[in-house]
A and B are shown apart, each in its own frame.
Chain A
Amino acid sequence: MMCSADDELPAVACFSLKHFTVLAATMDVAVMTSLAPIRCSSVSPSRSLSTSMASSSPPFASGPPQPRPWFSPTPDPNVAGAAQNSQIGRPQTSSGAPPPFAGPTLASSRPGPPPPFSSRPPPSGAVPQGPIASNGPPVPGFTAPRIPPTPSVQKAAPVGTPASIRAPPPSATASQAPGVRPFPGSPPAGASLTAHASPFVGPPASQPFGRPPAVQSPFAGPPTSQPSFTGSPTSQRPFGGPPTSQPPFAGAPTSQRPFAGQPTSQPPFAGQPTSQPFSGPSAQAFTGRPTSQPYTGPLTSQPYAGRPSSPSYMGAPASQPFSQPPTMGTPFGVPAWPLQPGQVAPSMPGNVQAPPRMFGMPPGMPGQSMSPVPPAMGHTPLAGSQVSTPSKIDPNQIPRPMPSSSVTVFETRHGNQANVPPPATSNFVAKDNGNCSPRLMRCTMNQIPCTGDLLSTSSMPLALMVQPLALPHPSEEPIQIVDFGESGPIRCSRCKGYINSFMRFIDHGRRFVCNLCGFTNETPRDYYCNLGPDGRRRDADERPELCRGTVEFIATREYMVRDPMPAVFFFLIDVSMNAVQTGATAAACSAISQSLADLPDGPRTGVGVATFDCSIHFYNLKRASQQPLMLIIPDIHDVYTPLHSDIIVQLTEYRQSLEQLLENIPSMFESNKVAESAFGAAIKAGFLALKPTGGKLLVFQSVLPSVGVGSLSSREAEGRTNVSSGDKEAHKLLQPADKTLKTMAIEFAEYQVCVDIFVTTQTFVDIASISVVPGTTGGQVYYYYPFNALSDPGKLYNDLRWNISRPQGFEAVMRVRCSQGLQVQEYSGNFCKRIPTDIDLPGIDCDKTIMVTFKHDDKFQDNAECAFQCAVLHTTVYGQRRIRVINLSLPCTNMLSSLFRSADLDTQFACFLKQAASSIPMSPLSQVREQIINLCINILYAYRKFCATVSSSGQLILPEALKLLPLYTLALSKSIGLQNDGRLDDRSYWVSRVASLSISLAIPLVYPRMISIHDLTTREDDGSLLSSNIPLSSEHINDDGIYLLENGEDGLIYVGSMASPETLQKIFGVSSVDGLPSQLVLQQFDNDLSKKLNEVINEIRQQRCSYLRLRLCRKGDPSGLLFLSYMVEDKTPGALSYVEFLVHVHRQIQNKMS
């Protein structure tokens, strides 16, 4: 069953870096054993963190504001935790490995980073191998987390090859080490520092470092790695972020050592390292070093990359990585290891080069011209080198996301070449030198197929994910603002594209050629500048629009139809009987009242409040007497607004009255007996109040809109009967009930009113229908079901606060232009589209993502670049009109393999997710599921058929870049939106949420992160809090454990039935499982475990920019079933387990092949 990869390389590695191959022997799939522990590229977490950090006001007030991980040198427990997590590729490893490592590392790191390292290196080198080997056997690492051998290690061990490989690394590391030290010292130190928690520190630091090194070493790294390090100055850059770029490398090595030193750590690392490479970091490393070529390059490089970045960031990064990114990274990482070597060998050279690019965002890219995607991974390779245990697929070794803790620096271009961005979920700092930051816009593939045929052969989608106001990483340079004065920004006179760094100046600068349409324009006289010898304008580096991928132009009069609108916020609160009695009204009022402080300052900020039940109540605060006047609109079929003015008041002047009013509302309606809700009429009335200015309408809704315009019926009940009689039409219940709300929403959008709806309910409210309004106006739905007055107000407040304080713009118009050869096919997201080319966004904020799909209408030349330009004209909260222009220019290719190599899993998966979500209401569920699975199969088939022809048919070969596609596809097919028996509202909410979801949150949504929390304190030694992800499989749930599972929105805390009373006491303040409250309000008790848990949760909140909705789940309860429903790798009635799914995919591909 196993097949070995073609390579001669040690059998161990089944996967080439590029592919993840699963060997399928007959029915039994042979899994590639060599999967290194999945290492999550933890990037995403870091991102999220960064994002959250970036926002001036932390979204969640409740949580103590955390220091930004990156910045704060001070140890941040959370960070540390995160770091740990990142390391943990596999759950087991994490658990097991960390401790041991932690101990040593911590100690070392804290005291003096350098020393430890130095010391470590040697040991590590030795150790790693040892451990690995040992691990190998112990495979069961899972169970015994602490055991040195990490699962990954174990895997490696079996392979055998790893050992050899590793050996080299050590040396490499060693060599590096020296250089490293300086670095390492600093980085590690930093890491440790950041880690704060000494315990953590140790681990994180070590881990990051460790991984990389380990990786390198395993791979052959030794030889190659060294060269690479040394050789690649580029690499320095990444590091460079941190001053000493080179050192980083060195540092990396050193770090490795530490790991190595720590037996356990290494193993995990090893696994991780691999993962890193995949994730991005590794790639970087490679790229960085040209030398890395040999092979390993990638691997080693990865580690480095990871490290370097981490060091620079320090603790912070680590933590970040862990959380989300891990998943991403992991896939690669783990498998990569073993495989890579093998794979590399085969295809290689190319590969080698490639690798650098991938990872090396920073270094690699520049150096290598090869654009190819991280060759290492992407390459054809197949390498399925190693066979795992024959007959079975080892569930522990199949591809899984691995967190990565390190922060990388990503230069968007190098040497006039686009760099391949790190995974969206990884933690990186983007350096804009021509292309935009991938946070703002990224493409499903980093090379553009020259022809439509090539694209369709690949079966992959060509789409951009645009998140135009995405939060930057705090270390990133702010977007520059360019003021062209009265004449406005320079634009192409034919296509109206905005000036950008890809426009070519010719004729001594007198004319310039548009990179989008190819038209030659005259340079305006006052914009004229000579060209230098390199053909660039001499002033290019001084003009942001000529050297940056993203700039913001000050809009002139001609971009305005009226004065820029003020920031106006209108709150609508449900005060019907149900809302009042469930506490939703009080929660909303208190949330609003507290949030007033976070509204944009300034005289133009307006606020209005209205309440509604079966009529609508406005409040006039501008009164001579203290008492406001309640203005009731009883006509809910034909709504109007009560006053011309005075409904919306200046915040600064009327803040107190508003607060007073909000305080009074719950008691005024205390005995309200009105059960009906005129939601439709209320939003219409709110709209009318906002009509003159436009603005944000924030609606707090608790019951099904039952009366007045836009009223709805309780379709859920009807729907159920339908389903039982035959579910052909079941999906129609996920469509809006009628067009009323849609029509209204379009009108709202026309007048720049953006609606956000906070659904605090305990019943069916028909989200399918009401979500149309936010969906059309650039808003979003927040869903609190079942609303609980005890546990939900916190989240409600934090959501609201983030909603109004996050970076955002109003009355926006967005358009994406692209080079001739492509054309925009469709936009999707939350907006209103009135003309085919533009989309109107009454509100756009940093969390909203818009997907833009493209189709070919012509061919590209092989060496051409395809440019994308997204322009967003918007008004800031302070009333300035701006045009944000985001440019991305990518190389075109004729090679299918290049496409696969440059595929961007995160983006593609986000694209699949959105497409699936949009088809859920349109097609029967089975069809949707089939579609997404077929999509996955088709892509893998295309790869198998055209890029991995050498492999034996018994192998399941996965393109390295898309290694995790099957897992995510499986998870998607089991996600809430696609559950047969899901509640309508849950599913509708899922659909509506996905529509605007950012890439970095897309994956956790379907493949959440799970960590154990009962052992947080004991585990702490080994590093960051979030480092040890547990695969989403019930096998990994123990009865005596307590677990936290989070998907960016909900946090489920699962308490095993045998959980230790002591632990329960520490965390919940109760001594038995039975004593647990049904509603959870997480408190911080005075013990380490509780503090740690709070830190972990706060860290997750920052990462996700979301205040988790915490719920307790107990075995045997419905809540327990809910928790188990997230165990996507499990076999469930009617759904395959992960292993079975791989077998299924493989079989399907085989069928197609034959």
Chain B
Amino acid sequence: MEEDHALGGGGAAPDPDGPDGVRMTWNSWPRNKVEASKCVVPVAASFAPIRSSPSLAVLPYPPLRCKPPCGSVLNPFARVDFAAKMWICPLCFSRNHFPPHYAGISEANVPGELYPQCTTVEYAPPPLDSTAPPPLPVFLFVLDICLIEEELEFVKSAMRRAIGLLPDHALVGLITFGTQVHLHELGFADMSKVYLFQGTKEIPKEQILDQLGLSIAGVRHGAVNVAPRGPQANGFHSSTSVNRFLLPASDCEYTLNSLLDELQTDKWPVEAGNRALRCTGVALSVAAGLLGACISGTGARIIALVGGPCTIGPGMIVSKDLSEPVRSHKDLDKDAAPHFQKAVKFYDNLAKQLVNQGHVLDLFASALDQVGVAEMKVAVERTGGLVVLAESFGHPVFKDSFKRIFEDGEQSLGLSFNGTLEINCSKDIKIQGIIGPCTSLEKKGALCADTVVGQGNTTSWKMCGLDRSTCLTVFFDISPSERSNQSGIPNPQLYLQFLTNYQNPEGQMRLRVTTVTRRWVDGSNTEELVEGFDQETAAVVLARYISLKMEMEEEFDATRWLDRSLIRLCSRFGDYRKDDPASFTLHPNFSILPQFIFNLRRSQFVQVFNNSPDETAYFCILLNRESITNSVVMIQPSLLSYSFSSPPAPALLDVASIAADRILLLDAYFSIVIFHGMTIAQWRNMGYQNQPEHQAFAQLLQAPHDDALGIIADRFPVPRLVVCDQHGSQARFLLAKLNPSATYNSGQEVVPGGDVIFTDDVSLQVFCEHLQRLAVQS
């Protein structure tokens, strides 16, 4: 399965991630550190904690755990002594007695978690207090009103639709902001009430609560709340009255709709030559502060709809003066973005607060200019929030994505809350950290490696928000201790166990346990290592790894680093004679990797200068949270070709694939391009498809559209659909992704109907030639 790189089909191929949703760069692990470092590609696992799986077993009782400090959950790999009613933990080899209620266990009567195919099971123990209703999810909308009328109307209609889709029991709140933050009190009957906060001042959470009369003491407002003791039905502190601001959707739908009707663009004047004053930062901290009044454990999302850059207060990314452009990558490199660090720090703190509270920040940014995703990235990513970047609130990328998050059923994203991930591993394995939408809980343990990648220094992570597609990349370190070497009988298998506690969309707490095992191999045995290599995962892990490094390390030269790694990898695992490039071959498990790397080098992840920092941040967030399959598409788009002569088929991602009588469908993850060859375009323009005798043509035209819609329907955020014709201006979306095997100066004859790319970039062929040459150098 690992080789399956037919990238196109959504779900046609067998699940590449297997039942466990775990993919590793190396499925055979070198036994020691030195060997591991020789492997070049880090030992890492990509893991989707709660991806949906039809075969998932749900057990209605609490899990059985190994004695501390291990704490692993009983799994199919445990050795069970049915007679003695004991089990041996495969990770730590401790013996555990079965508790009395497992007394009936026998070879013929095995609990679900011990079935061999149940490496992933989900426990759904009945809640301790069965009478308490599950905590209600909270949706707090934070709406930018520094918009032009048209955009505001788009937002309003999107909001109205969303309100209609909200589950009745969900609690809803509304904050609008411009120069100031307006917190709408929905539960006040006499008159619409709005609390205002100044946009220029950062307000600590306590102060917000105090000012809203929500502080625990409630002293200031003298709010002698007569509320009954004990947790309230809606899951808030009894002493507070946050339900003035957060109401069940069914109760406040009318209020919200009338509020939206009244909503106007920000009235504060914008001087000529200035940007509107927009206090995104304060608005978000007010939202976070308000949610702070919810008791912990309440799943809550802040859904921020932002239409422009933050220009005042904390989180400001650019001054209001229009003569100052929003920072570019160049500015960031040169340290010429005066607001950047401050803003990042602000959002970092916001992220900490949100994680602390267990709440999520979702960001819907729609603007032609940047809105500050680069700065907000940290808050979004740490809390496991969703992010969508579009150019207008009227654009389908926003509209459809926004709708998706409230949809139910099959289409549902399965938005869950309050996830906590714990990882247990066999000894000799340490965890460096995780790249992905989570936050380290700083729970240090014996399993923590000295070096840290991403969110590390812990064996436990918080995922305030997670969904079915959420994917984390765990980096491992192999550091056998002295003692383990002495133990003599090295166990050939290593075990990893992922424990994910979360609150599912229905509000129930679940614990998903995934236990996987892999083989230890002797480092010197390249053969075995090669067999266990997953080049897709490796490409993605490398991409994630370098994007992290690019962010963290100044002066990091990603291209060089990639080239060097690839060369090292090839010289280690390639099959060649020294200094004879022609003799160079690669095992099929490695064969596509150079192409991945070639495309990665040209991708938006490495070549950031074509993009704004916002876009880069956006791409990275998604790269880090998407599944391997999707991430590979981001790195190396898939191309399908449609023509009369053949059924739809994958085509080479090469300019040579362009032909006048073909339709190409490019899936670059963020955008989907339907490219009509010249002839096709002409035919279409002449309307042949409308003529009954040319039904086939109509079908040909329709096929890529149907496929594109299939992809779009499955993807979040919704990709941008570009329909273009050869030589049209939009064709650049395709050309940019193709291997420039034919350029304006390549001198080759252009096939009639073909195309050339105006670039000086090297083509894949040249790249590979160099690679071969360098790999075989002694």
Q: Which A residues form the contact surface with B (CB < 8 A)?
A: 577, 614-615, 623-625, 627-636, 638, 640, 642-646, 664, 667-668, 673-676, 707
B195 within 8 A of A: yes
Residues of chain A with a CB closer than 8 A to B198's CB = 635, 638, 640
Residues of chain B with a CB closer than 8 A to A629's CB = 191-194, 262
B483 within 8 A of A: no
- Whether B222 contacts A673 by the Cβ 8 Å rule is yes
- Whether B220 contacts A642 by the Cβ 8 Å rule is no
Count of B residues near A, CB < 8 Å? 31
Q: Which of B179, B182, B197 contacts A635 (CB 8 A)?
A: B197
Known: A624-B262, A640-B180, A642-B180. A631 touches B220 (CB 8 A): no
B405 within 8 A of A: no
Give the Cβ gap from A682 to chain B, nearest Cβ, in Å: 14
- Whether A635 contacts B194 by the Cβ 8 Å rule is no
The winner among A642, A644, A646 for most chain B CB atoms within 10 A is A642
Known: A635-B203, A643-B267. A664 touches B223 (CB 8 A): no
- Whether A624 contacts B194 by the Cβ 8 Å rule is no
- Complex Cα distance A614/B258, Å? 28
Dominant SS among interface residues on chain A: loop
B268 within 8 A of A: yes
- Whether B258 contacts A633 by the Cβ 8 Å rule is no
* Chain A to chain B: the 6 pairs with minimum beta-carbon distance, closest first: A634-B211, A640-B198, A632-B195, A630-B193, A644-B268, A642-B196
Residues of chain A with a CB closer than 8 A to B557's CB = none
Residues of chain A with a CB closer than 8 A to B182's CB = 631
Known: A628-B191, A668-B191. A644 touches B269 (CB 8 A): yes
The winner among B191, B197, B258, B269 for most chain A CB atoms within 10 A is B191
- Complex Cα distance A630/B201, Å? 22
- Whether B192 contacts A633 by the Cβ 8 Å rule is no
Give the Cβ gap from A657 to chain B, nearest Cβ, in Å: 12
Residues of chain B with a CB closer than 8 A to A625's CB = 258, 261-262
Contact with A along B254-277 (1 / 0, CB 8 A): 000010011000011100000000
B12 within 8 A of A: no
Residues of chain A with a CB closer than 8 A to B395's CB = none
Give the Cβ gap from A902 to chain B, nearest Cβ, in Å: 60
Residues of chain B with a CB closer than 8 A to A631's CB = 182, 194, 196
Contact with A along B174-204 (1 / 0, CB 8 A): 0000011010010010111111111001010
B224 within 8 A of A: yes
Q: 7 other contacts beyond A625-B261, A664-B190, with CB at 8 A cut-off?
A: A624-B262, A627-B191, A630-B194, A673-B222, A674-B213, A674-B222, A707-B220
Known: A634-B212, A635-B211, A644-B268. A627 touches B192 (CB 8 A): yes
- Whether B222 contacts A676 by the Cβ 8 Å rule is yes
Residues of chain B with a CB closer than 8 A to A635's CB = 197-198, 201, 203, 207, 211
- Whether A673 contacts B191 by the Cβ 8 Å rule is no
Please name 30 pairs of A and B residues whose Cβ atoms are closer than 8 Å in the assembled complex, sorted by A. A624-B261, A624-B262, A625-B262, A627-B191, A628-B192, A629-B191, A629-B193, A630-B193, A630-B194, A631-B182, A632-B185, A632-B194, A632-B196, A634-B196, A634-B212, A635-B198, A635-B201, A635-B203, A635-B207, A638-B198, A640-B180, A643-B267, A644-B268, A645-B267, A664-B190, A673-B221, A673-B222, A674-B220, A674-B221, A674-B223
Contact with A along B151-187 (1 / 0, CB 8 A): 0000000000000000000000000000110100100
Residues of chain B with a CB closer than 8 A to A615's CB = 195, 211
Residues of chain A with a CB closer than 8 A to B195's CB = 615, 632-634
Q: Which residue in chain B gives the minimum CB-CB distance to A632?
A: B195
Residues of chain B with a CB closer than 8 A to A674's CB = 213, 220-223
- Whether A638 contacts B201 by the Cβ 8 Å rule is yes
Residues of chain B with a CB closer than 8 A to A640's CB = 180, 196, 198
Q: Which residue in chain A gives the minimum CB-CB distance to B218?
A: A673
The winner among B194, B212, B258 for most chain A CB atoms within 10 A is B194
- Whether A664 contacts B196 by the Cβ 8 Å rule is no
- Complex Cα distance A615/B190, Å? 18
Give the Cβ gap from B400 to chain A, nearest Cβ, in Å: 30
Q: Which of B272-302 contact A (CB under 8 A)?
A: none
- Complex Cα distance A623/B267, Å? 13
Q: Which residue in chain A gives the minimum CB-CB distance to B193?
A: A630
Residues of chain A with a CB closer than 8 A to B211's CB = 615, 634-636
Residues of chain B with a CB closer than 8 A to A642's CB = 180, 194, 196
- Complex Cα distance A257/B191, Å? 72
- Complex Cα distance A631/B176, Å? 13
Q: Which residue in chain A gives the minimum CB-CB distance to B198?
A: A640
Q: Which residue in chain A gives the minimum CB-CB distance to B268?
A: A644
Give the Cβ gap from B210 to chain A, nearest Cβ, in Å: 8
Residues of chain B with a CB closer than 8 A to A624's CB = 261-262
Q: Which residue in chain A gives the minimum CB-CB distance to B259?
A: A629
- Complex Cα distance A632/B198, Å? 11
- Complex Cα distance A809/B262, Å? 38
The winner among A577, A614, A635, A674 for most chain B CB atoms within 10 A is A635
Residues of chain A with a CB closer than 8 A to B262's CB = 623-625, 629
Give the Cβ gap from B132 to chain A, nearest Cβ, in Å: 29
- Complex Cα distance A629/B221, Å? 21
Give the Cβ gap from B193 to chain A, nearest Cβ, in Å: 4
Known: A625-B262, A635-B211. A644 touches B267 (CB 8 A): yes
- Complex Cα distance A675/B269, Å? 36
Q: Which residue in chain B gives the minimum CB-CB distance to A643?
A: B267
Q: Which of B192, B212, B267 contacts A630 (CB 8 A)?
A: B192
Give the Cβ gap from B259 to chain A, nearest Cβ, in Å: 9
Residues of chain B with a CB closer than 8 A to A638's CB = 198, 201
Residues of chain A with a CB closer than 8 A to B180's CB = 640, 642
- Complex Cα distance A397/B125, Å? 102
The winner among A577, A634, A638 for most chain B CB atoms within 10 A is A634
Known: A643-B267, A644-B267, A644-B268. A632 touches B221 (CB 8 A): no
- Complex Cα distance A542/B150, Å? 65
Contact with A along B219-231 (1 / 0, CB 8 A): 0111110000000
Residues of chain B with a CB closer than 8 A to A645's CB = 267
Residues of chain B with a CB closer than 8 A to A707's CB = 220
Give the Cβ gap from B178 to chain A, nearest Cβ, in Å: 10
Residues of chain A with a CB closer than 8 A to B201's CB = 635, 638
Q: Which residue in chain A gives the minimum CB-CB distance to B188?
A: A630
Give the Cβ gap from B586 to chain A, nearest Cβ, in Å: 65
Q: Which residue in chain B gives the minimum CB-CB distance to A638?
A: B201
Known: A632-B194, A632-B196. A675 touches B267 (CB 8 A): no
- Whether A646 contacts B267 by the Cβ 8 Å rule is yes
Q: Which residue in chain A gives the minimum CB-CB distance to B191?
A: A630
Residues of chain A with a CB closer than 8 A to B269's CB = 644
Residues of chain B with a CB closer than 8 A to A627's CB = 191-192
Residues of chain B with a CB closer than 8 A to A644's CB = 179, 267-269
- Complex Cα distance A625/B264, Å? 13
Give the Cβ gap from B220 to chain A, nearest Cβ, in Å: 6
- Complex Cα distance A614/B214, Å? 13
Q: Which of B308-336 contact A (CB under 8 A)?
A: none
Give the Cβ gap from B7 to chain A, nearest Cβ, in Å: 52
Give the Cβ gap from B658 to chain A, nearest Cβ, in Å: 55
Residues of chain A with a CB closer than 8 A to B192's CB = 627-630
The winner among B188, B197, B223 for most chain A CB atoms within 10 A is B197
Q: Which of B191, B203, B220, B268 contacts A614 (CB 8 A)?
A: B220
Give the Cβ gap from B203 to chain A, nearest Cβ, in Å: 7
Contact with A along B128-158 (1 / 0, CB 8 A): 0000000000000000000000000000000
- Complex Cα distance A1072/B221, Å? 46
Give the Cβ gap from B320 to chain A, nearest Cβ, in Å: 15
Residues of chain A with a CB closer than 8 A to B268's CB = 643-644
- Complex Cα distance A675/B262, Å? 33
Q: Which of A668, A673, A675 contacts B190 (CB 8 A)?
A: A668
Give the Cβ gap from A342 to chain B, nearest Cβ, in Å: 72
Give the Cβ gap from A708 to chain B, nearest Cβ, in Å: 10
- Complex Cα distance A717/B267, Å? 47
- Complex Cα distance A645/B267, Å? 7
- Whether A632 contacts B193 by the Cβ 8 Å rule is yes
